[in-house]
Structure 1
Amino acid sequence: MVFFATILSFLPLLSFATAYSAINDDTLKNFPTPSDEFDIDTGSILAPILRPRVSGTEGNAAVRQHMVDWIKKELPEWRIELHNSSSTTPLSKGKKIPFVNIIATRDPPNTRVGDVGRLALVAHYDSKVAPAGFIGAIDSAVPCAMILHAARSIDKALTKKWEAMADNLDALDEQKGVQILLLDGEEAFVTWTATDSLYGARALAEEWESSFHPAMSTYHTPLDSLDLFLLLDLLGGASPTVPSYFKTTHWAYKHMATLEHRLRELGLFKSSPNHPSKLAERNNKKRKEPYFLTEAKKKDKNFVGGMVEDDHIPFMARGVEILHIIPTPFPYQWHEITDDGAHLHMDTVEDWTRLVTAFTAEWMDLEGHFDIGSQKRTEHAEKSELEIP
């Protein structure tokens, strides 16, 4: 990805906020953490991704197979597709290189093709050609692992919710699904240009735009079915700050910022200087709380430029609403050989994972469907937003 400053023309947003309800504190406290699964050497989710995986190489194929196998085992109710395309690159000497996107989808039961709107959880899984041996831990092995963990964390609750809705004809009008998009070919082979980057994303967006659902469907194409494209990138370094890039999805950014605030207030963010384990060492003296999402109070007039070119570009150009979670400034290890497992900030990795899980759970209206014992509704769950400092 590259940083790109421009004046943006914003399309009107059909607000999905009315379908978004908060989850309570008990739920937040009881989300599973990745723990050993994110161990950089032995973790069953993350470790197999931490290797060079340039598009078209053996490493790329091995990582793809690992993630497909993991989804089949851990998310058996999800429908898996592989989207294939090919293209020449500046290094391929006229030979076409294969690019393979992984698509995993879970929709409500008994819904028709074209009638389900989806939250897409998106990251790229390929890595850069140079420097030699580049791993790409933050870019974007960790975001891929976060998405897989978040999907599994909500999967049983989805089942319970949809089973509870089976006899409620009014509830069945709500047809929301969730989709994982692990994209190939994001990285440039030589220098970032419109043609040397985003290979998998460009091919998928183009195909989905011209693949039509049956007549009278709620959504005309798979592209139309994307209610929100939540793109994660460069996550896993210490002390990230993520701006709100797009006015039309600032409402969603604020929802995620509210969740971050609540998680910090509950003492659940391990990277926080005020985490209970660190307060005990300082005789409970609190420090100023840093935030990942720093622009919850951004005004409409301030959305006048600044975005980062990434996998969302071909989708945004076709009208898809984007929530881009990528730090600015970029982490110090961006595109350096130091972007490996050893240079991850694991407390921050765990905090992002919890936050993405919570956001997904709220989007899918899963409060009351998690197996955590008491599911009493708290005051937090009655509010759509919390005052954010």
Structure 2
Amino acid sequence: MQLAIALLSLVSFLSFGLAYHDVSDETLKKLPGPGGDFDIKTGSILAPILVSRVSGTEGNSAVRQHFVDFFKSQLPEWRIELHNSTSTTPVSGGKEVPFVNIIATRDPPGSLPGDVSRLALVAHYDSKLTPKGFIGAIDSAAPCAMILHVARSIDAALTKKWAAASEDDFEVEHKGVQILLLDGEEAFKSWTDADSLYGARALAGDWEATFHAAASIYRTPLDSIDLFLLLDLLGSAGPRVPSYFKTTHWAYQHMATAEDRLRKLGLMKSSPNHAAKMEKRKNKKPRAEPHFLPEGSKKNEAFTGGFVQDDHVPFMARGVEILHIIPTPFPNVWHEITDDGEHLDMDTVEDWTKLVMAFTAEWMELEGFFDFKAEKRKAETEKSEFEIP
């Protein structure tokens, strides 16, 4: 038993120590943007999510089917699972409401489930019951769309990397990506421990009680999560995301570094110094460059223990490491009827997408494995097959 614990500790140390390698400036410049796929009316990825999708409703079911169809048609190598649970709510009159989490996993070929550590990209896909007709574009249609685009953009590079890996490359052969699209984050009446996080609480509890084979490196699916990267309330202009947790500040710093590099390369469309904006300005002097992630230099003593309640809480309570990407203060459209597609700042949406993609590519060490020309041709073909009629 002591030897097994020591081995697991060594694997965890190596995973955290070696899990991140920068991509080149040239790769950053070529990371694909979502283009028309994020059009709020006709975009094949985003538009179908911009509907009311309260848990247990037809809208919720339709968006879930959109996600499943996306993976089946465009990412067939990903393993799709639906995690089902039910619960009463303060407004359900004693009836059980269904909550369905979507789990999409891409592991190295031939690997065993209990031997793979994973970067989890996470967002909730349900929308709030009130106000009536609430869409929840930042909360969290846009984050879901970002994750789908990232998955599609890195898929071929993952395949190429794993095909090129040697048999004795432990890290490559035991490192995957998992997407969690969670249901029931929103409270039906008012936020309490019981009226919120329905899908997240059910999944975290079930995974804690689900055990891999006895000889596995990781004891449970929770243990397999290297980092739980949760996106929420993203898509409004001028976000400021703090570093919430000391234990994952190193990951926050890596993402902040990627952001700084993207800004210096002129690739952040929301920047006041982006070329498109500079052309329109009479005064061509550069302006102050605001950062989405401004706390890269935050010191240990500055962490006070405060955080925002969200889908990570049941996982964090069970020891999962969390990187929570949510602005503080919240955007002014939060939980307002104005949180719709028309109020998204699309430059900011695209910038977050590119930043999360860069972070994921660096985490998965994909430098040298992107074939951008081939991916562009493939994306154009798949888009024509997946477009909204």
Q: TM-score by structure 2 length? A: 0.91
- The answer to whether the 8 Å contact 2:162/2:173 transfers is no
Once the two structures are superposed, what CA deviation does each residue of 1:279-304 show, in whole Å capped at 9, x if it has no partner?
Answer: 22335410010000011111000111
1:162 is aligned to: 162
Q: Give the aligned residue type for 1:30.
A: K
Task: Please state if 1:276 is matched with 2:275.
Answer: yes
**Whole-Å Cα distance in 2 between the matches of residues 304 and 172 of structure 1?**
34
Correspondence list, 1:343-358, <5 A: 343-358=343-358
The DSSP-based 3-state class of the residue aligned with 2:323 is: strand
- The answer to whether the 8 Å contact 1:17/1:251 transfers is no
2:23 is aligned to: 23
The DSSP-based 3-state class of the residue aligned with 2:123 is: strand
Pair 14,139 (structure 1): closer, same or farther in 2 beyond 3 Å: farther
Q: Give the aligned residue type for 1:271.
A: S
**Whole-Å Cα distance in 1 between the matches of residues 57 and 311 of structure 2?**
20
Question: Equivalent pairs: percent with the same residue?
Answer: 73
1:248 is aligned to: 247
1:258 is aligned to: 257
The DSSP-based 3-state class of the residue aligned with 1:358 is: helix
1:308 is aligned to: 308
How many angstroms does 1:174 deviate by?
4.3
- The answer to whether the 8 Å contact 1:122/1:180 transfers is yes
**Whole-Å Cα distance in 2 between the matches of residues 229 and 372 of structure 1?**
28
Task: Please state if 1:55 is matched with 2:55.
Answer: yes
**Whole-Å Cα distance in 2 between the matches of residues 14 and 176 of structure 1?**
12
1:143 is aligned to: 143
Task: Please state if 1:83 is matched with 2:83.
Answer: yes
2:187 is aligned to: 188
**Whole-Å Cα distance in 2 between the matches of residues 14 and 333 of structure 1?**
42
The DSSP-based 3-state class of the residue aligned with 2:113 is: coil
2:327 is aligned to: 327
Pair 276,17 (structure 1): closer, same or farther in 2 beyond 3 Å: farther
**Whole-Å Cα distance in 2 between the matches of residues 248 and 161 of structure 1?**
29
**Whole-Å Cα distance in 1 between the matches of residues 52 and 158 of structure 2?**
34
2:175 is aligned to: 176
Q: Which structure's residues are more often helix, by fraction? A: 2
How many angstroms does 1:20 deviate by?
1.1
- The answer to whether the 8 Å contact 2:272/2:278 transfers is yes
**Whole-Å Cα distance in 2 between the matches of residues 58 and 171 of structure 1?**
44
Alignment coverage as a number of residue pairs: 361
Task: Please state if 1:342 is matched with 2:332.
Answer: no
- The answer to whether the 8 Å contact 1:156/1:370 transfers is yes
1:370 is aligned to: 370
The DSSP-based 3-state class of the residue aligned with 2:122 is: strand
**Whole-Å Cα distance in 1 between the matches of residues 349 and 259 of structure 2?**
14
- The answer to whether the 8 Å contact 2:108/2:173 transfers is no
The DSSP-based 3-state class of the residue aligned with 2:114 is: coil
- Structure 2's unaligned 5+ residue stretches are 1-11, 374-389
Of 276-285 and 209-218, the range deviating more from structure 2: 276-285
Correspondence list, 1:207-246, <5 A: 207-246=206-245
Once the two structures are superposed, what CA deviation does each residue of 1:158-204 show, in whole Å capped at 9, x if it has no partner?
Answer: 00000001x44235664100000000000000000000000000000
1:94 is aligned to: 94
Correspondence list, 1:288-303, <5 A: 288-303=288-303
The DSSP-based 3-state class of the residue aligned with 1:204 is: helix
1:384 is aligned to: none
Once the two structures are superposed, what CA deviation does each residue of 1:107-163 show, in whole Å capped at 9, x if it has no partner?
Answer: 001111200000000000000000000000000000000000001110000000000
**Whole-Å Cα distance in 1 between the matches of residues 162 and 70 of structure 2?**
23
- The answer to whether the 8 Å contact 2:162/2:172 transfers is no
Pair 288,84 (structure 1): closer, same or farther in 2 beyond 3 Å: same
Q: Give the aligned residue type for 1:28.
A: L
Q: Give the aligned residue type for 1:267.
A: G
The DSSP-based 3-state class of the residue aligned with 1:307 is: coil
- Structure 1's unaligned 5+ residue stretches are 1-11, 374-389
Moved over 4 A (4+): 12-15, 171-174
**Whole-Å Cα distance in 2 between the matches of residues 172 and 17 of structure 1?**
11
RMSD: 1.4
The DSSP-based 3-state class of the residue aligned with 2:259 is: helix
Task: Please state if 1:66 is matched with 2:66.
Answer: yes
**Whole-Å Cα distance in 1 between the matches of residues 240 and 17 of structure 2?**
24
**Whole-Å Cα distance in 1 between the matches of residues 284 and 174 of structure 2?**
47
* Higher RCO structure (Cα 8 Å, ≥6 apart): 1
**Whole-Å Cα distance in 1 between the matches of residues 364 and 13 of structure 2?**
19
**Whole-Å Cα distance in 1 between the matches of residues 171 and 295 of structure 2?**
36
